[in-house]
Chain A
Amino acid sequence: EADIYQTPRYLVIGTGKKITLECSQTMGHDKMYWYQQDPGMELHLIHYSYGVNSTEKGDLSSESTVSRIRTEHFPLTLESARPSHTSQYLCASSEYRLPLAHSGANVLTFGAGSRLTVL
Chain B
Amino acid sequence: KNEVEQSPQNLTAQEGEFITINCSYSVGISALHWLQQHPGGGIVSLFMLSSGKKKHGRLIATINIQEKHSSLHITASHPRDSAVYICAVMMGDTDKLIFGTGTRLQVFP
Contacts and interface: CB of A to CB of B under 8 A. Distances in A.
A103 to B, nearest CB: 6
18 contacts: A42-B86, A42-B102, A43-B86, A45-B99, A58-B96, A88-B41, A90-B43, A92-B97, A96-B31, A105-B45, A105-B47, A105-B54, A107-B48, A108-B33, A108-B35, A108-B45, A108-B48, A110-B43
Contacts of A103: 48
B60 interface: no
Given A100-B48, A105-B56, A45 B42 contact: no
A101 B51 CA distance: 8
Contacts of A92: 43, 97
B2 to A, nearest CB: 9
Contacts, number: 64
B31 to A, nearest CB: 6
B7 interface: no
B101 interface: yes
Nearest to A39: B41
Chain B contact residues, majority secondary structure: strand
A43 B99 contact: yes
A41 B56 CA distance: 27
A9 to B, nearest CB: 10
A112 interface: yes
A112 B45 contact: no
B97 A45 contact: yes
